[in-house]
Amino acid sequence: KCSGILLTENYVLTAAHCIQADVEKVACGSEFTGAAVVKIDTEHDLAVLELAMPCGQPVTSLAAKNPEVGTDMYVLGCPAGECGKITKGVVSSYNISNGRVVLETDAKGWFGNSGGGAFNDQNELIGICSSAHLMQREDGSYQAIYMQFIPINTIRAFLRG
């Protein structure tokens, strides 16, 4: 299970690796609605879904450009299936991972954050979660070390293309 960000009442932005071959429905608030993939870019790990019915939830504003290293950020998603969780971190760096530019943060995340958003202090989208890097503890449990996001400049180019 993954997260997503509402671009308009009928369109959701998420990570491409979250897309199953036959997306049938997505959660919209406490309701479910049908969905279909309308755009996907596996190279940059981005996808857009069209909802069968308007969601009726607040839509997301996009930041104008990538945030600077050191900028506060807030991660929203469904880690381990617990939707609505928010964690705070900073933009730690920009790096290359799997051949693409990623924004890295110290904000904590987990499985299920993928496809969810990172936001700045103005509540603007600055990235979509692509991966969480974990470390196994001695007791066998896992701890999140850092997360990687597809930055807003890449998202804007994807949405324009």
Overall average pLDDT of the 11-34 stretch = 84
Q: How far apart are CA 87 and CA 70, in angstroms?
A: 16
Over the stretch 42-68, which tens digit does the pLDDT of each residue have? 999 999 999 999 988 888 999 999 999
Q: How far apart are CA 157 and CA 161, in angstroms?
A: 6
Least confident of 1-5, 41-45, 77-81, 106-110: 77-81
160 contact partners, CB below 8 Å, separation of at least 6: none
Which of 62, 76, 77, 58 lies closest to 8, judged by CA? 58
Q: Which residue has the tokens 């700045």?
A: 120
Overall average pLDDT of the 112-128 stretch = 93
The pTM score is 0.88
pLDDT given for residue 143 in this prediction = 67
Q: Does residue 86 surpass a pLDDT of 90?
A: no
